[in-house]
């Protein structure tokens, strides 16, 4: 039996309590699974709804309890509460695994800039034993065609074992196309948990010659998948697919959003454990596992986590494309102790702002503005990137 934590939100603080976790395997997989009978899924959610009324004490001004269903297209003023195995029942299976675009195009990852060896993050091609961690105040791999802004996440004051955020899903803009070797791409938002998180989850926007793709992607930092290197996206979901949006997208603070969770249920050191990337299904009212991986991180950043805006080849034509405001809101790090913990806190030593070399890039020439916290009505903790 694997152990996990249950949560209470008390006065804006996260209290973690140990509980038993059932229904989770310890294998690594991104392969499709057969669609479970809907009646079985409905029964699991009904049980979660019944249990959630018995013990979840999430702050109702911010969170709604797991089990809550939001009709598609109806705005919500709250976001899903963190997963609590004791009250929410087992995680649900992903019945959209067959929608993974890599099943139809196994070579899709090869076109992503991260798959090009000389553009990978610094040290990614080195053996793990030869790597050293980066400065917490700089991104050593930054180049004029690859820049970022956001926050590093650490485990300096607590062994945080997960991260959660509600992220804007913007599919209403286009990116330019210059060549197949210089694809313009934004990962925004993108995040990974501190403590050796195996799974990076990102919303990837990619400019092609005839279209702009907007995908939810999963990159594995602990295992190779589908021939991709560490940290190269290998699982892709179309954010315009009606089956996906109808179940996983909700209007929050005026924009379509998804709520994402990356967590390990294991106790002790988080590096080397099994990690789960889940999304909240608003029609079923439960957390659904989209990706699972385990092992020790091979990230060139060591065990650091992050929440950030990242771009590739954005100024290949010396111009900055117009983008809408993109936000990551209600950023929450999970606390392992019963003695307290915080939301992502700007004042602790567990975060550090990324401020790489000042290239003549859209982020650094003030064409785009990075705000953290994001302007109102976004709730702290948050960040946003926007045109001035």
Three-state secondary structure along the chain? Answer: CEEEEEEEEECCEEEEEEEEECCCCCCCECCCCCCCCHHHHHHHHHHHHHHHHHHCECCCCCEECCCCCCCCCCCECCEECCCCHHHHCCCECCCCHHHCHHHCCCCHHHHCHHHCHHHCCCCCCCCHHHCCCCCCCCCCCCECCEEEEEEEECCCCCCCCEEEEEEECCCCCCCCCCCHHHCCEEEEEEEECCCCCCEEEEEEEEECCCCEEEEEEEEECCCCECCECCCCEEEEEECCCHHHHHHHCEEECCEEEEEEEEECCCCCCCCCCEEEEEEEECCCCEEEEEEEEECCCCCCCCCCEEEEEEEECCCCCCCCCCCCCEEEEEEEECCCCCCCCEECCCCCCCEEECCCCCCCCCCCCCCCEEECCCCCCCCCCEEEEECC
The domain limits of the chain are 2-386
What is the pLDDT, as a whole number, of residue 141? 44
What is the pLDDT, as a whole number, of residue 88? 80
What is the pLDDT, as a whole number, of residue 262? 94
What is the pLDDT, as a whole number, of residue 59? 56
What is the pLDDT, as a whole number, of residue 25? 33
What is the pLDDT, as a whole number, of residue 361? 76
pTM above threshold 0.85: no
Low-confidence ranges of the chain (pLDDT < 50): 1-58, 117-142, 338-342, 357-358
């Amino acid at each position: 039996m694997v152990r996990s934590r249950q949560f209470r939100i008390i006065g804006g603080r996260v209290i973690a309590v140990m509980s038993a976790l059932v229904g989770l395997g310890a294998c690594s997989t991104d392969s499709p699974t057969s669609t479970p009978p809907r009646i079985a899924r409905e029964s699991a959610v009904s049980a979660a709804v019944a249990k959630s009324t018995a013990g979840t004490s999430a702050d109702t001004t911010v969170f709604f309890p797991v089990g809550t269903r939001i009709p598609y297209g109806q705005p919500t003023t709250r976001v899903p509460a963190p997963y609590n195995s004791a009250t929410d029942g087992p995680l649900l299976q992903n019945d959209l695994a067959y929608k993974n675009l890599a099943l139809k195009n196994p070579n899709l990852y090869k076109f992503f800039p991260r798959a090009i060896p000389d553009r990978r993050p610094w040290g990614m091609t080195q053996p793990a034993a030869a790597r050293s961690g980066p400065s917490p105040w700089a991104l050593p791999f930054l180049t004029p065609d690859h820049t970022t802004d956001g926050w590093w996440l650490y485990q300096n004051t607590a062994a945080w074992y997960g991260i959660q955020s509600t992220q804007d899903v913007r599919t209403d803009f286009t990116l330019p196309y210059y060549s197949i070797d210089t694809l313009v791409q934004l990962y925004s938002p993108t995040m990974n948990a501190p403590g050796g998180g195996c799974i990076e989850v990102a919303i990837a926007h990619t400019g092609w010659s005839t279209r702009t793709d907007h995908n939810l992607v999963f990159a594995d930092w602990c295992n190779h998948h589908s021939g991709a290197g560490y940290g190269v996206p290998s699982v892709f979901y179309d954010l315009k697919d009606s089956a996906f949006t109808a179940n996983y997208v909700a209007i929050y603070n005026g924009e379509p959003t998804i709520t994402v969770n990356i967590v390990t249920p294991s106790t002790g050191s988080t590096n080397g454990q099994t990690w789960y990337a889940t999304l909240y299904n608003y029609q079923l009212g439960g957390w659904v596992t989209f990706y699972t991986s385990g092992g020790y991180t091979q990230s060139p950043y060591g065990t650091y986590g992050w929440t950030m805006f990242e771009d590739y080849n954005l100024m290949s034509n010396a111009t900055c494309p117009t983008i809408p405001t993109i936000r990551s809101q209600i950023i929450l790090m999970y606390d392992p102790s019963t003695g307290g913990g915080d939301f992502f806190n700007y004042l602790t030593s567990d975060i550090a702002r990324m401020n790489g070399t000042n290239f003549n890039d859209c982020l650094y020439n003030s064409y785009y503005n990075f705000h953290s916290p994001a302007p109102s009505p976004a709730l702290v903790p948050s960040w946003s990137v926007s045109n001035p």
